[in-house]
Amino acid sequence: MTSSTEPAVSIRGLSKSYGKTEVLHGIDLEIARGATTCLIGPSGSGKSTLLRCIAFLEEATGGTIHVNGRPLGFEERPDGKRVRLGPQRIREVRSGIGMVFQQFNLWPHMTALGNVTEALVTVRRLSRKNAEERGMAQLRHVGLEARAHHYPSELSGGQQQRVAIARALALEPKILLFDEPTASLDPELTGEVLNVMRKLGEEGMTMVVVTHEIGFAATVGQRIAFLDHGRILLNGTPGEVFSDPRHPRLTQFLETYL
């Protein structure tokens, strides 16, 4: 059983190296359940790497991640030894995590509905009919039911990203991760994507959002974590982090992005 006060994700001493270069240096972070956590920080600070470790798209080189109390990928034994878990246990925990990327990564040869239902049929083994029902419900959720039979090339960037969100939602994740979901959109299209995300937050989805949209982070984020050079420098409510930005690195960052 997981209690509602237990964090959805608990990260302890997480480090990640590429070759000899360590890019995450012992990250400790708890992701609150049912809340939106915004991860901000300069380019190259390690935001994507951290998110990809939580999605297990990258394997951390040290430390542990627990998702709803269960170890993801690695666990620490009582003797302190860090061991890799078997593929089945990795799959089970990973299947509760969805991810939305900056580049929407839709299949160009499939319609919006095809994109949303593909994994439901091939991975989750739903019947085509069930998959399409669930897919349509998720397209409705993001306001795109009327575009179900359109191809990505026939959709705006904002619509494509909403299809990508519907695709992630269709797999019924417990946690949804977003890596700069509006960074490739024209400014007039970011609002529709942020609105969908705001709605998901209000519905109680646990989300981690890497974003340079400081206005969104300040209004929708319930927790803000500021990452710099592979370390969490600040972590708290928007009020705590933004209203008193005495930290020189945060001040510098905000001057660049506000």
| Distance separating alpha carbons of residues 104 and 161, to the nearest angstrom | 5
Binding site for ligand ADP (CB under 6 A): 18, 23, 41, 43-49
Closest distance of CB 49 from ligand ADP, Å: 3
CB of 45 to ligand ADP, least distance (A): 4
CA–CA distance from 147 to each of 117, 170, 254 (Å)?
A: 14, 16, 37
Q: Please identify, using beta-carbon distances, which residue of 135 and 221 lies nearer to Mg ion.
A: 221
Q: Which of 48, 111, 190, 211 binds Mg ion (CB under 5 A)?
A: 48
Is the separation of the CB atoms in 184 and 103 below 8 Å?
Answer: yes
In this complex, which beta carbon is closest to ligand ADP, that of residue 18 or of residue 107? 18
Question: Which one of Mg ion, ligand ADP, none interacts with residue 18, CB within 5 to 8 A by kind?
Answer: ligand ADP
Residue 257 interaction partner, one of ligand ADP, Mg ion, none, beta carbon < 5-8 Å per kind: none
The interface partner of residue 110, options being Mg ion, ligand ADP, none and the CB cut-off 5 to 8 Å by kind, is none
Residue 147 contacts which entry, ligand ADP, Mg ion, none (Cβ below 5-8 A, type-dependent): none
In the complex, the smallest distance separating the C-beta of residue 180 from Mg ion, rounded to whole angstroms, is 6
Nearer to Mg ion, 54 or 170 (CB): 54
Q: How far is the CB of 48 from Mg ion (least distance, A)?
A: 3
Q: Residue 49 or residue 115: which is nearer to ligand ADP going by CB?
A: 49
Closest distance to Mg ion from the beta carbon of 185 (Å): 16
| Residue 177 beta carbon to ligand ADP: minimum distance, rounded to whole angstroms | 12
Q: Residue 201 or 230: which CB sits closer to ligand ADP?
A: 230
Nearer to ligand ADP, 59 or 240 (CB): 59
- What's the 3-state SS for the chain? CCCCCCCCEEEEEEEEEECCEEEEEEEEEEECCCCEEEEECCCCCCHHHHHHHHCCCCCCCEEEEEECCEECCEEECCCCCEEECCHHHHHHHHCCEEEECCCCCCCCCCCHHHHHHHHHHHCCCCCHHHHHHHHHHHHHHCCCHHHCCCCHHHCCHHHHHHHHHHHHHHCCCCEEEEECCCCCCCHHHHHHHHHHHHHHHHCCCEEEEECCCHHHHHHHCCEEEEEECCEEEEEECHHHHHCCCCCHHHHHHHHHHC
Residues contributing to the site for Mg ion (CB under 5 A): 48
